[in-house]
Structure 1
Amino acid sequence: MARMKGTVKWFSQEKGYGFITAEGNQDYFFGVRDVIGAVLPATGSQVTFTPATGPKGPKAIEITILSQPEHTAPDNKIKCPHCARQIIPRLVTYKGESEKSLCPFCGGTVKDFTGTSILDDLGDIFWGMIRNIAVAIIDTATAIVIEIKKSKKK
């Protein structure tokens, strides 16, 4: 059969298989053993292959990688609360402890780490839960009083 060109739609190195989309949007299954050479394809790799029929449908064999996709770094930027620019905050430490993070453009404090600990966060969570419970109790008590007043009027 004639060789075809396609793009790796999906490939899992852990599972050892993936799919290639060829001209006409036909998907072809392939396993790691069908790849020629030691380099494995990645999602987006351009390949050539020989089409075949497998037990569950179209299969790609004798796969040759033509080009790998360019890897782009993940965008770990956040928005500065002061100047609204996309930034990677700079960490300021004092005596080995994190003190704060700053915007590299405007110098504004993004987060202040002084005086905070996991216990502070747990305390905030605890008091938030207590507040929610108190509000629920007050709402329930208010509803009961309203019902009692309604029943006395009848």
Structure 2
Amino acid sequence: MKGTIKFYNSNDGYGFIFSADTNKDYYFNITEWKSEILPNAGQKVEFSEFKNKKGLGAKDIKLLENCQSQENSKYSDDRIVCPSCTKKIIPRIQYLNNAPYASHCPYCGVMIKKFQSDLRNFLFFIVLAIILISGYFIFVK
């Protein structure tokens, strides 16, 4: 089937496609999106329909015509390819103790990069060794 993106919520990863052939809206999740360009209202797409408990849905969605908007153009150079799902992404940052800890794919959740190295653990053991060695010499003398 062919249709037009009617609405897409980038924060929650879902949207609706309107098909003029059936005059109906089809729900879709970003996991069914097969293009490298993020969905945007007004884009022409081709999809397969399916029915579930909640109604009509779209799957295997492919972009036919891109209405290049300012929103999509900002992602053209900043994105990377996820090593797991192979989609172009802007990784999401995970924080631990108010410091960046790791980045993850917003689609499949795989860890892209870990920011904090094991240097902190190494330094902890060095300090612990110094304390133990100095304590040994204090008690031995």
Alignment TM class, shorter chain as reference:
0.3 to 0.5
**Bigger CA radius of gyration:** 1
Higher helix share: 1
**Structure 1 length normalisation: TM-score?**
0.42
TM-score by length of 2: 0.46
